């Protein structure tokens, strides 16, 4: 059976932290859906089309990676595409507490699902999309924190 994973997130915008986790996970799965949850679309900084396009460019050379969007519960999207794994990155203990709760609830709601975590490499531990947005809001240049394909 094919090992299919979903990496859910906002990717607002995609950072080098996301890129690193997903590229390291690519050899572990037959297929990875990078899926932008659109429930909170109204609050997003970058429009969904742009976020999807950047992800498509970043992972263009990865035939097993599919870029898409979804609405509703992540586990329902996983069922729809036949994914038995949710992939997430872990930066800090705060991430762990947040992820533990979601992961355990998801498992309760969909017992076949397993959440798989990869530890962030040290150079990306402090990085998140909201810092990148803050730098932009204040007129700075965050290009060293995002993949080369991201053009603001």
Give the residues lining the site for ligand ADP (CB under 6 A): 9-11, 15, 17-18, 21, 88-89, 91, 95, 120, 124, 127-129
Rounded-to-integer distance, Cα 94 and Cα 111, Å: 25
CA distances 8 to 39, 60, 67, 142, Å, are 12, 18, 10, 23
Q: Is 4 or 21 the residue whose CB approaches ligand ADP more closely?
A: 21
Cα 86 to chain centroid, rounded = 10
Q: Report in angstroms how near the CB of residue 19 gets to ligand ADP at its nearest.
A: 9
CB of 117 to ligand ADP, least distance (A): 8
Q: Supply 134's token pair.
A: 């803050």
Label the pairing between strands 85-90 and 65-70.
Answer: unpaired
**Distance of closest approach, residue 36 Cβ to ligand ADP, in angstroms:** 8
Of 89 and 147, nearer to ligand ADP (C-beta) is 89
């Amino acid at each position: 059976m094919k090992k299919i994973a979903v990496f859910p997130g906002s990717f607002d915008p995609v950072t080098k932290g996301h890129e690193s986790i997903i590229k390291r996970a690519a050899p572990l799965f037959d297929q990875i859906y990078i899926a932008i949850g659109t429930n909170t679309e109204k609050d997003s900084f970058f429009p969904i089309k742009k976020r999807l396009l950047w992800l498509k460019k970043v992972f263009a050379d990865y035939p097993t990676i599919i870029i898409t969007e979804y609405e509703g519960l992540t586990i329902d999207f996983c069922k729809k595409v036949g994914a038995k794994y949710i992939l997430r990155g872990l930066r800090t203990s705060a991430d762990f507490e947040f992820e533990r709760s979601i992961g355990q609830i998801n498992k309760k709601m969909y017992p076949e699902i397993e959440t798989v975590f990869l530890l962030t490499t040290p150079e990306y531990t402090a990085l998140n999309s909201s810092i990148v947005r803050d730098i932009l809001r204040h007129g700075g240049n965050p290009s060293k924190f995002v993949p080369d394909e991201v053009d603001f």
